[in-house]
């Protein structure tokens, strides 16, 4: 069941909305294959209505689009849910110049990547301001896994040509995980792994 969220005066209206939506439905990575197929089909139709992006009329091409869109969500946006994805497309406004073009995965990134970045920042603020639970002890592993997830998102964004925020704790995390070479800084690290054609830095189990 999704977790309920109480609006906080600490956050802006947009941040409150993002955090509320984060808890409104299961994440993409938590859906089974049958559930995800249903939601992907619905999302494609809703995005078509919102953006005017043209869906292929050829049935075979449409099947391929559904499959690739589903894989795209699993690989690049596993922590988002369908409510967040719809919201991101509804509220992109005129910031995207490609309304009316044929649906393709590059256009999806233009909407979801900026949303994902803002959501990470809102979630980080939520994490910092959230009161410590009374019974459950603070678990450093949770924070470390969050850092690794952010680093992976940053790396995938760099591969797409974006310039994401590189937080100060990224380098320390990569060094502790043994991914940085001796004497190498984080900028040199990213240049190296990009040149080597590395697909992923961290793989979720």
State the Cα–Cα distance between residues 194 and 188, nearest whole angstrom: 10
Q: What is the arithmetic mean of pLDDT over 147-170?
A: 88
pLDDT per residue as tens digits for the range 111-121: 999 999 888 88
State the Cα–Cα distance between residues 142 and 18, nearest whole angstrom: 21
State the Cα–Cα distance between residues 93 and 51, nearest whole angstrom: 9
State the Cα–Cα distance between residues 108 and 89, nearest whole angstrom: 9
Query: At which residue do the structure tokens 């209206």 appear?
Result: 13
Q: Where are the domains of the chain?
A: 1-130, 133-205
For residue 165 the two structure tokens come to 């925020």
pLDDT per residue as tens digits for the range 85-108: 999 999 875 466 666 688 889 889
pLDDT per residue as tens digits for the range 162-178: 888 888 899 999 999 99
pLDDT per residue as tens digits for the range 42-60: 999 999 988 888 899 999 9
State the Cα–Cα distance between residues 59 and 70, nearest whole angstrom: 17
* Residue 166 Cα distances to 76, 124, 133, 196, angstroms: 18, 14, 29, 20
State the Cα–Cα distance between residues 129 and 87, nearest whole angstrom: 24
Q: In this structure, are residues 160 and 109 in contact, taking their beta carbons and an 8 Å threshold?
A: yes
The answer, yes or no, to whether residue 152 has pLDDT greater than 50, is: yes
């Amino acid at each position: 069941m999704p977790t309920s969220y109480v609006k906080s005066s600490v956050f802006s209206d947009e941040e409150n909305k993002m955090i509320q939506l984060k808890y409104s439905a299961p994440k993409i990575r938590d859906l089974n294959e049958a559930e995800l197929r249903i939601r992907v089909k619905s999302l494609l139709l809703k995005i078509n209505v919102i953006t005017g992006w043209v869906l292929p009329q050829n049935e075979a091409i449409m099947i391929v689009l559904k499959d690739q869109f589903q894989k795209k969500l699993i690989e690049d946006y596993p922590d988002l849910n369908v409510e967040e994805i719809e919201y991101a497309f509804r509220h992109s406004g005129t910031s995207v110049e490609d309304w009316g073009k044929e649906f393709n995965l590059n256009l999806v990134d233009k909407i979801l990547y900026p949303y994902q970045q803002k959501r990470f920042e809102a979630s980080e603020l939520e994490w910092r301001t959230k009161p410590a639970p009374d019974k459950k002890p603070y678990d450093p592993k949770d924070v470390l896994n969050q850092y690794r997830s952010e680093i992976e998102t940053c790396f995938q964004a760099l591969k797409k040509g974006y310039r994401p925020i590189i937080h100060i704790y990224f380098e320390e995390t990569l060094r502790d995980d043994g991914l940085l070479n001796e004497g190498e800084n984080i900028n040199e690290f990213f240049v190296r792994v990009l040149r080597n054609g590395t697909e992923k830095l961290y793989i979720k189990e």
